[in-house]
Structure 1
Amino acid sequence: MASPTTTVSSSMSRRQVLTALSGLLLAMFCSMMSMTVVGTSLPIIVPELGGTQASYTWVVTMTLLTTAISTPIWGKLADLVSRKTLMLTALVLFVLASAGAGMSQSAEMLIFFRALQGIGGGGLQALSQILMADIISPRERGRYMGLFAGVMALGTVGGPILGGVITDTIGWRWNFYVGVPLGIIAFIVIVRTLRISQIPRERVTIDYLGIVLLSAGAGTLLVWISNVSTYGWISWETLVMVGGAAIATVAFILVESRVREPLIPLSLFRDRTFSLAVLASISIGVSMFGTAVYLGQYMQVSRGYGPTEAGLLTIPMAAGMLGASAIIGQLVTRSGKWKSFLVVGAALMIAGTTLLSTLEYDTSLVLVGVYMFLLGSGTGMTMQNLVLVVQNSANPAQIGVASSGVNFFRSVGGTAGVAIMGSVLAASMTQQITDRMAEIARAVSTLGAEGAVIAEQLQSGALPTTRDMPQTIAVIIEQVSAQAISHAFLVGVPLAVLSLVAICFLPNAPLATRTTIERLQHQREQAEAAAMAEESANTALMSSGSITTIREDGVISHEPGRKGER
């Protein structure tokens, strides 16, 4: 382990801050893009590597899994050792894993390197926000938070589009190779511009048992959530995995309450701001992950568009996130007020999610775009500002675990929400297929062998794409799938309401005007001044030979003592 250090001071000009910020933004973009860029090319990648449907699922799930689990670990390490060194380590890991994924010769090899990509990506996501807090004060940070939200929006929506274009023009391996030069550029920029002085800590201990238990509990839960549609909500797999996750979680809590340097300090949950921000972030996770998954499915299955077209049609959501986060960030910095913007953002999320739950197969694309824009705007107004509020109220010595904690619970909550939405979609789809079986049978009977294949897919609960189907059966599938997807979006409505309630109860604390490293420096100076004052007072009392007593009413008195008394 590198020499233990704590960030306490910085010597960076404004130009250097902006240049370093560009490196952090590029690192964040690499991480977000790595999770989404393969979405449209997996149907080509997996068969070429000899993989199965299970491989298809694990290529995506493994990255989400390792990103979520590693985020709080990187955050805790950021409070213990050099943050800049950690960031560079995460970049190196991400670049090497990206190159390895591009050179994969089997599905298993690809899954392995995707896991490493997720670990590196978790570090890039967590550390970029923590390092930004080191060099920019909460009051000034609002205008830059919009850039981070914009990068996340571009990575979420633009990743699948870029992946489709790269696969069609160059080859699928460049979906992974493209992250290599971007990561190298980010590495160089951060090395040259990020200047943070550090003071060695007296002692550093790593909560290895906590890491193991968190990985076991969260990992098992996320694997179960990602595959619950296969296992079933009532099955022996569900019993074993949920039971195992619960046991690991209880053990993790017990360990965290006793170790010297807990991975996720339980004291964080005594902070009302942190606890409420975690609740609010769950809905935002569903908005980010769930809508990206099921809006793409709506465009391809219910509207008959191809992958690239479907990605382009979701641009209104990215535009809403980017525009709202940038504008609101500027307003937060100018006014110093944040709560009213968060409340409006949560209300927009409720409106957007509710309207998306009304989608039909023939809903005007203009209206669909408006609904997505509303949801994206609400997400952009709340997502990064919740992190800002937590960083503003957190103890600067715990800024790493506080920031990454919000991101961790957002990822876990989002993954859980996506799984629940998927289950609702599957149940609705099955019920509608059953109700319209006679109509479907008449339509497929005229299609011969093709109709038999389509009927088999529908009976298995799959949603086949409709762009190449005969109109007689395509219109039925479009109607059924649109209805099922709209039912899935209903899951997000109560979560959005929960987010609004949590935000309303957030303490409306003013934004600090000092960076994290300046706050740490101030804390250190105060501690040193208090120690010196105490030492001076003790020396004065000892030299005077007086006896200090504290009465029951709290009054302190000094009485002359006999020689030799203290």
Structure 2
Amino acid sequence: MAQQQVDAKADTPPGGVAGEGERPARSPREIRLVMIGLVITMMLAMLDNLIVGTAMPTIVGDLHGANHLSWVVTSYTLATAAATPIWGKLGDLYGRKGTFLTSIVIFLVGSALAGLSQNMNEMIGFRALQGLGAGGLMVGVMSIMGALVSPRERGKYQGMFAAVMAIATVGGPLLGGFITDHFSWHWIFYINLPLGAVALAVVWVTLHLPKVRSDAKVDYLGALLLTVGITSLVLITTWGGTQYAWGSKHIIGLIVLAAASLIGFCYVEARVQEPMLPLSMFRNRDFTVVSIIGFIVGFQMFGGVTFLPQYQQIVQNASATNSGLLLMPMMFGMLVVSLAVGQVVTKTGKYRVFPIIGTVVMGAGSLLLSTMGVGTTRLTSSIFMAVLGAGMGFLMQITMLVAQNSVQLKDMGVASSTATLFRTIGGSFGVALFGSIFTNHVTDGLKSLPGASGSGSDGTGQMTPAKLRTLPEPVQSAFHHAYSNGNHAVFLWAAGISVVSIIAALFLKGTPLRGAGKAAGEQAEGSDMAAMAH
């Protein structure tokens, strides 16, 4: 397809609906081929962070770095959060295809190097490199899909991506355990290479997008300030009250650095010609609301869910592989609801009720999970996880859809990246905050345990299920209760944080999707038929 220059004014079509712009006619076959590449890429991005979890004990044991275990995850999420808005803006300025392909290459290089790591410092650094690429994968998939299909038709495709995300949530831990047990932990990174190569080839050959703009500069100062601010906040959440006292010079210094960086970021973004994160987008109430909801969804998904395998393996005595299987009810709830919501939005063009229902159900799921104790059956916990999954299913793709619907087509990339950014930041804060809460409760629960210090655990989650089963019954019971209390605290906090998302969802205006309504729907169908004929 011939490349064409799209003027910014074209983003406001006749009729005054800002943001739709021109979408060249494409055959269904072309769209399907591109979607194959996007789905593989989304699977890579989702699996990578999840597949490491079950392999983590082997990795840190092999590389002698148990004290730095959390940074294998945090370095990845921090790099992803910092890079996401940069990739989105680069895509808007210089073309989404080129930046997307570049992010895939960086991700694959990081994967290869992580597999070759010989110590924890190398692993943490190469995981950060992976995260830099992963930021471009997630936002690239969503912004390219936004450029290919209209908001009205986007729901059914986003349901497909939601299915990939749900499958990856369970498939990641299962695959990680299988590879670690039957091959070696190195292959959890090497497996990305052939899959990534296929995605790279498919997108390179099949994706053709019109050039949008290329005459502006990237806001590198804004990117630097945002990175410093986010990193400082996560370090405060991670270290405050655990490694350093809240009143220590380290934490106070980080608070000052975070405040100065974020204030400076807002100052820069309000004045540069091409801001990395246009603050004007937050004048749109719906965009602001879904950003808040997305942040809390990230909190729940990446934060709280991280601790379910801990509960299953330590308290319920499940193996690593079985703990992945026990997550399937959550995946099933997320999958079914996401697909159903996508179809309803596509047919009706209405979505306002779904964020309200989703936030309530998500909060209820967290509250139910907080009630699990030592005697809770696997059936009961499975039902509770299904409720949480259903709540997230209502929200995961709606937040992206509303964010994209709130901006002009020329800002689709930065809108997608901002929505992804808030979810990723939420995940980073969730892992840090819930990790601190969990560790404190487990440590407190083991303080009075005779011989705990010699049991091979420091009370912070280093105890493996296999080692625990070799200890005397009183010690096992103490660990069961300590981990159960930690789980209770984590999900009780998660339920409380969900209240904020419920309140935010009530303020959603529910601006009609472009192309929504009967007449517009008929027009959209006509456009689709024209695309097929073309």
| Residues 1:57 and 2:70 aligned together | yes
User: Matches of 2:42 and 2:250 in 1, distance apart?
Assistant: 35
| Residues 1:216 and 2:228 aligned together | yes
Q: For structure 1, which segment, 93-102 or 417-426, has the greater mean C-alpha deviation from structure 2 after superposition? A: 417-426
Q: Compute the displacement of 1:42 (Å).
A: 2.2
Q: For structure 1, which segment, 174-183 or 192-201, has the greater mean C-alpha deviation from structure 2 after superposition? A: 192-201
Match of 1:341 in 2: 354
Q: Compute the displacement of 1:141 (Å).
A: 1.0
Pick the aligned partner of 1:95 from 99, 108, 126. 108
User: Matches of 1:475 and 1:5 in 2, distance apart?
Assistant: 68
Pick the aligned partner of 1:20 from 26, 34, 41. 34
Partner amino acid, structure 2, of 1:221: L
Aligned CA distance change for structure 1 residues 55 and 492 (closer, same or farther; 3 Å):
closer
Unaligned runs of 5+ in 2: 8-21, 517-534
Asked whether the 8 Å contact 1:91–1:120 carries over to 2, the reply is yes
Asked whether the 8 Å contact 1:91–1:183 carries over to 2, the reply is yes
Q: Compute the displacement of 1:154 (Å).
A: 2.4
User: Matches of 2:408 and 2:513 in 1, distance apart?
Assistant: 14
Match of 1:553 in 2: none
Q: Compute the displacement of 1:378 (Å).
A: 0.8
Aligned CA distance change for structure 1 residues 456 and 23 (closer, same or farther; 3 Å):
closer
User: Matches of 2:103 and 2:439 in 1, distance apart?
Assistant: 38
Match of 1:76 in 2: 89
User: CA deviation digits over 1:122-152, x for unaligned, max 9?
Assistant: 1000110000111111111111111222222
Structure 2 matches for 1:187-336, cutoff 5 A? 187-201=200-214, 203-228=215-240, 229-336=242-349
Match of 1:67 in 2: 80
Partner amino acid, structure 2, of 1:210: G
Match of 1:110 in 2: 123
SS at match of 2:211: strand
Pick the aligned partner of 1:32 from 46, 57, 62. 46
Aligned CA distance change for structure 1 residues 46 and 475 (closer, same or farther; 3 Å):
closer
Asked whether the 8 Å contact 2:152–2:346 carries over to 1, the reply is yes
User: Matches of 1:351 and 1:413 in 2, distance apart?
Assistant: 19
Structure 2 matches for 1:316-465, cutoff 5 A? 316-433=329-446, 437=448, 440-441=449-450, 453-454=454-455, 457-458=458-459, 465=465
User: TM-score, length-normalised on structure 2?
Assistant: 0.88
User: Matches of 2:462 and 2:201 in 1, distance apart?
Assistant: 46
Q: For structure 1, which segment, 241-250 or 128-137, has the greater mean C-alpha deviation from structure 2 after superposition? A: 241-250
Aligned CA distance change for structure 1 residues 36 and 232 (closer, same or farther; 3 Å):
farther
User: CA deviation digits over 1:265-293, x for unaligned, max 9?
Assistant: 11111110111111111221122112221
| Residues 1:47 and 2:61 aligned together | yes
% of aligned pairs identical? 38
RMSD (Å) for aligned C-alpha atoms: 2.2
Aligned CA distance change for structure 1 residues 305 and 100 (closer, same or farther; 3 Å):
same
Q: Compute the displacement of 1:463 (Å).
A: 5.7
Partner amino acid, structure 1, of 2:217: T
Asked whether the 8 Å contact 2:302–2:428 carries over to 1, the reply is yes
SS at match of 1:491: helix
Asked whether the 8 Å contact 1:4–1:81 carries over to 2, the reply is no
Partner amino acid, structure 2, of 1:486: H
Q: Compute the displacement of 1:325 (Å).
A: 0.5
> Runs ≥4 in structure 1, deviation > 6 angstroms?
none
SS at match of 1:71: helix
Q: Compute the displacement of 1:6 (Å).
A: 5.8
Q: For structure 1, which segment, 338-347 or 465-474, has the greater mean C-alpha deviation from structure 2 after superposition? A: 465-474
Match of 1:159 in 2: 172
Q: For structure 1, which segment, 389-398 or 410-419, has the greater mean C-alpha deviation from structure 2 after superposition? A: 410-419
Q: Compute the displacement of 1:478 (Å).
A: 0.8
User: Matches of 1:253 and 1:398 in 2, distance apart?
Assistant: 18
Pick the aligned partner of 1:508 from 480, 487, 510. 510
Q: Compute the displacement of 1:464 (Å).
A: 5.6
User: Matches of 2:170 and 2:122 in 1, distance apart?
Assistant: 27
User: Matches of 1:511 and 1:101 in 2, distance apart?
Assistant: 42
Unaligned runs of 5+ in 1: 445-450, 515-566
Asked whether the 8 Å contact 1:357–1:489 carries over to 2, the reply is yes
User: Matches of 1:114 and 1:414 in 2, distance apart?
Assistant: 16
Q: Compute the displacement of 1:234 (Å).
A: 3.4
Match of 2:135 in 1: 122
User: TM-score, length-normalised on structure 1?
Assistant: 0.83
Aligned CA distance change for structure 1 residues 5 and 208 (closer, same or farther; 3 Å):
farther
User: Matches of 2:218 and 2:67 in 1, distance apart?
Assistant: 35
User: CA deviation digits over 1:303-348, x for unaligned, max 9?
Assistant: 2222222122111111111111011111111122211222222221
Pick the aligned partner of 2:147 from 131, 134, 156. 134
Q: For structure 1, which segment, 418-427 or 381-390, has the greater mean C-alpha deviation from structure 2 after superposition? A: 418-427
Partner amino acid, structure 1, of 2:48: S
Match of 1:179 in 2: 192
Asked whether the 8 Å contact 1:166–1:174 carries over to 2, the reply is yes
Partner amino acid, structure 1, of 2:332: A
User: Matches of 2:163 and 2:251 in 1, distance apart?
Assistant: 37
Aligned length: 497
Larger radius of gyration: 1
SS at match of 1:513: coil
User: Matches of 1:233 and 1:26 in 2, distance apart?
Assistant: 43
User: Matches of 1:513 and 1:272 in 2, distance apart?
Assistant: 20
User: Matches of 1:429 and 1:216 in 2, distance apart?
Assistant: 31
Asked whether the 8 Å contact 2:37–2:203 carries over to 1, the reply is yes
Q: Compute the displacement of 1:469 (Å).
A: 3.0
Structure 2 matches for 1:526-565, cutoff 5 A? none
